[in-house]
Amino acid sequence: SQTIHQWPATLVQPVGSPLSLECTVEGTSNPNLYWYRQAAGRGLQLLFYSVGIGQISSEVPQNLSASRPQDRQFILSSKKLLLSDSGFYLCAWSLAGDQPQHFGDGTRLSIL
């Protein structure tokens, strides 16, 4: 069966510091991968998605970037964090076609 791992679970970072969040999927090949952010009390905002290695689509222009260096690895990065980057970051995967997405446990990011 497929599993998704996301780490770290919580992170506290100062404003202006860099960020790297990692997500890996096991048990499947060539999954679609997604990064979402959920602000407190708000809905899910799609940040990036990827349909293959090196293929990244950005949904929201901001100071974040994503990369997919391997088939089942998805990385969310920032060079300089802003206060507004605080939130709950979720990685998800799906098979191609008309399939649901499945979420990792998320990273709760606080910016001080």
Positions in the binding site for other proteins (CB under 8 A):
32, 34, 42-44, 46, 49, 51, 57, 90, 94, 96-106, 108
Compute the least distance from the CB of residue 76 to other proteins, in Å: 15
What does the block give as tokens for 10?
């919580």
Q: How far apart are CA 86 and CA 47, in angstroms?
A: 14
Q: Which is nearer to other proteins, 14 or 41 (CB)?
A: 41
The gap from C-alpha 95 to its chain's centroid, in whole angstroms, comes to 17
The nearest distance, CB 64 to other proteins, in angstroms, is 17
| Full DSSP string of 38-74 | E-TT--EEEEEEEEETTEEEESS-SSEEEEEEETTEE
Nearer Cβ to other proteins, position 83 or 98?
98
Shortest distance in whole angstroms from residue 88 CB to other proteins: 8
Residue length, the chain? Answer: 112
Closer residue to other proteins in complex, CB, 55/63: 55
Q: What's the min distance (Å) between Cβ of 79 and other proteins?
A: 25
Q: Which one-letter DSSP state was computed for residue 16?
A: T
Nearer to other proteins, 47 or 81 (CB): 47
Report angle CA 21, 48, 41 to the nearest 5 degrees.
75
